[in-house]
Structures are given as structure tokens and as C-alpha cells.
Amino acid sequence: MSAVASPQTTPTRVGSPAGRVTQANVLRSEWTKLWSLRSTRWSLLASFIAMAGLGPLVAAVQMSRWNQLHPHDRATYDAINTAVGGYHLAQLAIGVLGVLVITGEYSTGMIRSSMMAVPRRLPVLWAKLLVFAVVTFVLMLIASLISFFAVQAIVTQHHVQHGIGDPGALRTVIGAALFLTVLGAMCVGLGGILRNTAGGIATFVGLLFVLPGISAILPSSVNDSISPYLPLNAATTVASHSFDNSHHLAVWAGFALFCGYTVLAVAGAAVSLRRRDA
Amino acid sequence: MLRCPGVDNLNMIEIDHVTKRYGEKVAVDDLTFTVKPGIVTGFLGPNGAGKSTTMRVILGLDRPTAGSATVNGKPYSELPAPLHDVGALLEARAIHTGRSAYNHLVAMAQTHGIGRSRVQEVIELVGLSEVARKRAGGFSLGMGQRLGIAAAMLGDPATLILDEPANGLDPEGILWIRNLLKGLAAEGRTVFLSSHLMAEMAQTAEHLVVIGRGRLIADTTVAEIVAQASQNAAVIVRTPQAGELRDVLVGDGVTVKSAEREVLEVHGLTSAEVGAAAAAHQIVLHELIPQNASLEEAFMGLTGGAVEYHAGALDPQLVDSIPEAA
């Protein structure tokens, strides 16, 4: 860099007269922000590999040990559940990334630049949610489809495969992507409420994975009545081909409830963003 | 540059009875002043005086507890294209450390539909071309300041708000900032610049707003402060006829002190006047030294009572002598 850069700031009138803040412009900005961080790219790649690869891996192991499996396990083997099993791993990466989408801006101070550029603030939240949701859904759907067809090809050797047209198959494959997408949105909301990476991730893990554990140590009558309404149990109905009905709501009812929780988290983030100092 | 002539509060920043409390702590206390268009206004005050808070209120980052701040007649949050109206450099970093300088600027530009050619322009303006594709997290303080200035210049704003832009810069960087600010002012932009260094201000600012403990202390010009400072300036005279000279000089508005034998400290007269008086009375002078009070001293005089944090080792007598902030 030159020592004393002469301040050539001839006011070249930049920015077309139309250069004002619009939701579409903010969306473009958030798209750039999402993809210009190495951590985001790695997290998305990791969740893609998990979603696409874990199912086939598990299926291959199971097929190789097919004859040692318990007859009951063989009789109830669900190759569709195996195919979407990657979400168990992907949900962690997507959830953490969702939290980071917002808390990463607070921890680095970037939020101040974002809020100065878009002082009405909420367009930033909507743009972050939309960009992250679309990216997550597209990537997870592709990964889920890859896993589905790979798993079915693998399990054909023992004739337990399903076609994508079988009852519930397509719903489960798309459902896994839907679940991960809404989970990501919920974590964006949590990040917006807490503004702190560690706090956001702890809350996400607590709500989804710790609550069921606490519920399980309660008297079973209590557990049975609470359990279907816990976020993760409600959410994963849509991403499961077959499940134990006693602990789950109906497929779309469960998913709708999870969407409701997510709306609460996002609303909390919106209020916090509007009210609190940046 | 003028986009909508006829609007009289164009490029003007108005602070109207702004108070900002963080819990119990009052950071800004009923502050009112106006940053006039087209000149460089210095915003001066000791550390912790509330300069940064005031700037954050202007930029819509903090909501004032009471009062209002407007830019071009509107609250910042209601500007349809704020980056075209105001460019800001905050004291605290406002850049994601994992993103390259180029991508940071692109993301900022996109919010306003500003093209990539302008991004390239501001990168060249601040001299970051060689490192623009590197992660901002690895930038030195100086490079970070340059990137902050680049972001402020993206929308080619008529008003710039810069919080301690020279902070942490090496002499080369300070010189660069100073030249940049002079250039910006020469183009007729409104510049509102904070600093805790009076000397830095004297180099660039025309008008001064001085605050201490969140309150307005002075709203004046640099020239006026310099004049005030020199009013209190002393003239040191060394003469073997100290007693005689004292009798000659003492009068209305003139005080003479003697720190040691044959040395007088004269207040209220210029060195020329002292010399003339001595000549008229045939008094021999060995030395005649005008003591110009520095701007720094003038600043200390202004804000002495409003310093938030005193060094622990201060002479207690000195602390006692500092008047409480009004």
C-alpha cells in the first residue's frame, strides 16, 4: 500500500439513483455473507456428507451382517429410515451453523456494519433466514435423495429395498430436508435472542437433546404425556418412515408444532433485534 | 454533491437533548449540539466522555433514553439509503474476521445495490489492493482502519462520522488519515470526527464540540480555543532589575509572579509589550520568552473536571484543585 495515498475521492456519483436498501438487495448481501465464510462452507459440506453418506454406510454394514441380525430386526428393517438416518449427524452441523449465522456477527462486531447499512434491521433477519433456509433445504434434499437411492441399491441384495413411490418414502426423504431446514431457522432465532455463540449452541442442544433425557427420567405417565410435544420428537415425525406412535404426534401435526416453536424463536429474535441496542 | 437543494438541514447532524443510560450509568447526559454541513467538526473529550455513545446514537445503533438525533433531518433508521447519506467508522471493529476485505465490502455494497466497480475504487482509495482478498482477521490495526474507511466511503456519502480514526495508527497512517480528511473536507463534505487528542483536532477540525462525562463543555471554533489559551499565556523575563520591572508592569489585568531570583512570570501582557515597557524604563533584559499555552493545555483546562478515570498516582493536591464538572 502506498505510504500516503492521495485522497482521490472525486465524488464519482455511485450507486444508481435506485441505490437504496430493499429486501432484495439485503438478500443478495446475505447470500454473499453466507458463502464468503470458510466456516460456513465447511459446515455445509460436513452436513451434506453426513446426510448423504451416513445412511449408505450404515446400510452397507447391516447388509454385510444380515444373517447375524435378530429375526425381529430383519422383519422390521426399514430401509427408508436408514436412508434418512444421516440427519442425526447433519442436525448438529446445521443447528450450530444456524446459531453462528447471527452470533458470528455479534462476536466479531460485524453486526454494527450490518445494522448501519440496514438500520431498519428486520430485513437483515428475514434475509438471513431465507438464504439459510433455502440453502439448507436444497442441499439436504439433494443429499437425502442421494442417500435414499444409494441405500436402496445396497439393500437390494436382501430384498428389503423400497421405491421412491412407496407409501411414505418421498414424504420421509423430503421430510428430512424440511426438518433440518426448520431446525436451522429455529437456531437462527435462538442466536438472535441470545447473541452469543456458546449460549445459542447450549440452548439448541438443551432444547433438542437434553429435554428428552430429562423427560425420560420422569414417571412414565408424565413422560408419555410430555414426550410427543418435545421439539425433537415433534420434529422428527416428518423425517421418519415408521416410528413408535406412543411417543409421537401424527406426522404433520408434529412438524407443525415444531414449526410453531420455530416461529416463537424467530419472533423473539425479531423483537430483540428491534428493541435492543446493536 | 447536493442531492436535494432547498432542504436546509442537508448534511447536518442534529443532537437534541440526547440522554443515554446503560443501567445506572449515564453515558450521555442531555447533550445538544449541531454538526454543521461542509466543515470538519471535531468531537473532543477524554476517554469515557460519551463520544462513542453519541456516535452510536446518531447511527441508530443505540436508542437514546431521551432526546433524538437526526441526520439530514431524519432519524438514521429512517434513511432509505443510509450509506449514501452517512459513512461511518466506529472505534470498535465492525468486520467479520473470517471474511476477506473484498467480500466484506461487496456484502455492504449489495445492501444498497452499489456495484463492484465502486468496491474496487474504495479498496484502491485506502490502499488495500494487495490484501483485499485476505481474511480481515489477519489485518493489522492500521489495515483494519483503512478497511473501515473504505466501508465508510462505499456510498460516497456527503457526511462522514469517524470515531477516533487515528487511534492505534503509526505516524504514516496518521499522516494518511489527516491528508484523507483534508481532501474530504476540501470536497465540501461534512466530517464529524472524534478524538481525545487536541493536537490531532487542531490539525484538521474547524469547529469543536467538547464533552466531558456525557455533557457539553464547549461548542466553539478551534481559533477561539487557541485565543482563549493564549490569553492565559505567560511571558518569562530574566532581568537583573526584577524589582523595578515588576513595579513597571503590574497594573490592571496584569499579574507578575517570581519563581526565582531575577526571573519574572508575567501574565496579561505579550512579550512585545513587556519588551517595550522595559526599554521605555531602561531596564536591562537577559531573556524574554513567550510561553504559548499549548492546545493540549487548553483542552486539559476545559475538560480537567470531566475526566472519567484519573490515574491513581496523581498528586492528591492536584486532584483536589480540579473543579467538579458543572
Which among B77, B172, B184 has the least Cβ separation from residue A119?
B77
- Give every residue of chain A whose pLDDT is below 70, as ranges: 1-18, 245-246
pTM of the predicted protein model: 0.85
Alpha carbon of B220: minimum distance to chain A alpha carbons (Å): 28
Q: Does A271 touch chain B (CB under 8 A)?
A: no
Instruction: Pick the residue of B112, B124, B149, B162 with the most A CBs within 10 A to test the interface with A by mutation.
Output: B112
Alpha carbon of A17: minimum distance to chain B alpha carbons (Å): 10
Q: Does B129 touch chain A (CB under 8 A)?
A: yes
Which residues of B fall within a CB distance of 8 Å from A21?
A: 80-82, 111-112
Which residues of B fall within a CB distance of 8 Å from A38?
A: 98
Nearest of B296, B299, B298, B306 to residue B326 by alpha carbon: B306
Distance CA A255, CA A186 (A): 13
Distance CA A120, CA B77 (A): 6
Distance CA B289, CA B236 (A): 5
Residue B209 bridge partners (DSSP): B43, B219
**Interchain CB distance below 8 Å, B94 and A113:** yes
Distance CA B219, CA B217 (A): 7
Distance CA B129, CA B125 (A): 9
Q: What residue in B sits closest to A30 (Cα-Cα)?
A: B107
Residue B58 identity (one-letter amino acid): I
**Interchain CB distance below 8 Å, B80 and A20:** yes
CA distance to A59, A152, B294, per residue, from A156 (Å): 11, 6, 89
pLDDT at B116 exceeding the cut of 80: yes
Distance CA B309, CA B295 (A): 21
Instruction: Pick the residue of A35, A39, A110, A125 with the most B CBs within 10 A to test the interface with B by mutation.
Output: A110
Q: What residue in A sits closest to B143 (Cα-Cα)?
A: A1
Instruction: Pick the residue of A113, A120, A131 with the most B CBs within 10 A to test the interface with B by mutation.
Output: A113
Q: How many CB atoms lie within 10 A of CB B96?
A: 26
Q: According to the model, what pLDDT value does residue B304 have? A: 64
Distance CA A191, CA A100 (A): 7
Cβ under 8 Å to A: B residues 262-281: none
Q: What are the cell numbers at A107?
A: 462476536
pLDDT digits (tens, 9 = 90+) for B149-159: 999 999 999 99
Nearest of B251, B249, B238, B235 to residue B293 by alpha carbon: B235
Please state the φ and ψ torsions of residue B96, each to the nearest 5 degrees. Answer: -70, 125
Q: What are the cell numbers at A44?
A: 455445509
Cα dihedral B289→B292→B293→B294 (10° resolution): -130
Dihedral sign for Cα atoms in the order A263, A35, B98, A40: positive
Nearest of B170, B167, B212 to residue B43 by alpha carbon: B212
Residue with cell 473470517: B98
Distance CA A231, CA A207 (A): 7
B314 pLDDT band, cuts 50/70/90, is very low
Q: Does A74 touch chain B (CB under 8 A)?
A: no
CA distance to A1, A37, B305, per residue, from B144 (Å): 13, 18, 34
For helices A169-194 and A197-205, the axis angle rounded to 10 degrees is: 140
B269 or A266: which leads in pLDDT: A266
Q: What is the DSSP string of A41-65?
A: HHHHHHHHHHHHHHHHHHHHHHHHT
Distance CA B141, CA B171 (A): 13
Which residues of A fall within a CB distance of 8 Å from B82?
A: 21, 116-117, 119
B229 pLDDT band, cuts 50/70/90, is low
B201 pLDDT band, cuts 50/70/90, is confident
Residues of chain B above pLDDT 70, percent = 86
Distance CA B67, CA B72 (A): 16
Instruction: Pick the residue of B20, B96, B100 with the most A CBs within 10 A to test the interface with A by mutation.
Output: B96
pLDDT digits (tens, 9 = 90+) for B170-192: 888 888 888 888 888 888 899 99
Alpha carbon of A253: minimum distance to chain B alpha carbons (Å): 38
Q: Does B67 touch chain A (CB under 8 A)?
A: no
Q: Does A119 touch chain B (CB under 8 A)?
A: yes
Q: What residue in A sits closest to B99 (Cα-Cα)?
A: A37
Task: State CA B228 to chain mean position distance.
Answer: 17
**Interchain CB distance below 8 Å, B111 and A25:** yes
Which of A57-61, A188-192, B9-13, B197-201 shows the lowest mean pLDDT across its residues? Answer: B197-201
Nearest of B218, B273, B220 to residue B248 by alpha carbon: B273
Q: Does A15 touch chain B (CB under 8 A)?
A: yes
Q: Does B112 touch chain A (CB under 8 A)?
A: yes
- Binning chain B into helix, strand and coil, the percentages to the nearest 5 are 40, 25, 35
B307 pLDDT band, cuts 50/70/90, is low
Provide the phi-psi class of B282: left if phi over 0, else alpha when psi is between -120 and 50, else beta: left
Q: Does A220 touch chain B (CB under 8 A)?
A: no
Q: Does B40 touch chain A (CB under 8 A)?
A: no
**Interchain CB distance below 8 Å, B61 and A26:** no
Q: What residue in B sits closest to A2 (Cα-Cα)?
A: B127
Q: Does A8 touch chain B (CB under 8 A)?
A: yes
B297 or A110: which leads in pLDDT: A110
Taking residues B98-127, report their average pLDDT.
96
pLDDT at B1 exceeding the cut of 80: no
pLDDT at B25 exceeding the cut of 50: yes
| Strand order across the beta sheet in which B86-89 lies | B86-89, B159-163, B190-195, B40-44, B207-212, B215-221
Q: According to the model, what pLDDT value does residue B321 have? A: 41
Q: According to the model, what pLDDT value does residue A6 have? A: 41
